[in-house]
Amino acid sequence: MSIFKTDDKTRADDKIQKDVESEIKYDPSIVHDDNISVKVKDGVVTLTGVTNTYMDSYYAEKATKRVAGVRAVANDIEVKPSSDRLDPEIAEEAVKAIQRELPYCADKVKATVKSGLITLEGEVEWNFQKEWAARGVRSIRGVKGVTNLIRVKPRVSPTEVKRKIEDALVRSAQVDAQHITVETDGGKITLKGTVKSWAERREAERSAWAAPGVTSVDNHITIVP
């Protein structure tokens, strides 16, 4: 009996590996897909390889999470830019990028650069502002990684946040809302329940983040293919 179970897991992992490799090659945002290797064990995907842009690593991870059956992702892709840039150059470009993305609150976000790694700090009112700041600096030439520590300041009551998230889940065609529960503690959101794919789990989390005043989302939703 155990042998068949092992064979079933192996076949499932092989399919996930092929699907992830196909999804990475299919994504036009990933330029050097041939430099990325995929390994799968029990639904956990490990990405390895070397690329000269952080964007390849970032979008390879996003593509992997879209594949059905993926339970977790370990991104071990190493970013080695083709030409080294000085940190002050990257920092100057980061400031301009944040100003483009957040023209009305760029002064609330600070970018620190060390050895090509950008750390974003500050405080904004909406989570999309936090995401846009990271989006703006991600594609800067020479960047090896981005850590987003920007905080979202709560603006509405926990009850209102909970209602808005639940309504958003019900509206979503990609999420089976009846199997998901939402708990609030101030601006902190906890999602629980079951979904059929990583993409559905991710969509539920995205819906939670879209509500005003959300400062963090603890996603405890489990995947049951």
- Domain 158-223 fold: Histidine-containing Protein; Chain: A; (3.30.1340)
Residue 47 — very low, low, confident or very high, per pLDDT cuts 50/70/90? very high
Asked if residue 206 lies in contact with residue 127, where contact means CB atoms within 8 angstroms, the answer is no
Percent of the chain with pLDDT over 70: 95
pLDDT grade, residue 154 (50/70/90)?
A: low
In the chain, where are the structural domains located?
A: 2-79, 88-152, 158-223
Whether the pLDDT of residue 36 is over 80: the answer is yes
CATH code for residues 88-152: 3.30.1340.30
Architecture of domain 2-79 in CATH? 2-Layer Sandwich (3.30)
Residue 1 has pLDDT above 60, yes or no: no
Q: What angle do CA 17, 148, 188 make, to 5 degrees?
A: 90
This prediction's pTM:
0.65
